[in-house]
Amino acid sequence: MNTKKLTSSFTISGRLQSLRHALRGLIILFSEEINARIHLLLGLIAVFLGVLCHINSTEWLLISFSIGWVIFAETVNTAIENLADIVCPDYNYKIGRVKDLAAAAVLIAAITAALVGGFVFIPHLLNFIS
């Protein structure tokens, strides 16, 4: 393995270019995918509730990971769907199954995030009400 080639390809400008691509991906995700915007809105509501309820650092960690997990799953789902549409633009049973499985990953992440949100916020909200 040529280590000189590996070290010479690692540049600041290369890393900045990678960051630009990733940011462009986020722009595509949130500008084109309604579900991603819904997840982002729900994440912002969770952050607002976290501030309102004065949640502790462990709870912030759980909420942050939950938000990130859902956005990550939505991003991967969108990438899989886009790639599947390029590979097979016409209906294909197997491609449909792949898309369904990717969508199921988002559903699992969203349900998990909702459970985490419930465990974190319900006690605070009940305490806030009483």
pLDDT at position 8: 57
- Percent of the chain exceeding pLDDT 90 equals 90
Torsion over CA: 80, 83, 89, 95 (sign): negative
pTM: 0.87
User: Tens digit of pLDDT for each residue in 3-41?
Assistant: 555 555 789 999 999 999 999 999 999 999 999 999 999
Q: Tokens in use for 26?
A: 């986020």
pLDDT at position 128: 84
Q: What beta strand segments (E) does the chain contain?
A: none
The CATH number of 34-129, from 3.40.640.10, 1.10.287.3610, 1.10.357.10, 1.10.10.60, is 1.10.287.3610
Q: Where is 104: in which H helix or E strand?
A: helix 93-129
Q: Which long-range contacts (CB under 8 A, 24 or more apart) does 64-70 make?
A: 66/112, 66/113, 66/116, 66/117, 67/43, 67/113, 69/109, 69/112, 69/113, 70/39, 70/42, 70/43, 70/106, 70/109, 70/110, 70/113
User: Tens digit of pLDDT for each residue in 35-63?
Assistant: 999 999 999 999 999 999 999 999 999 99
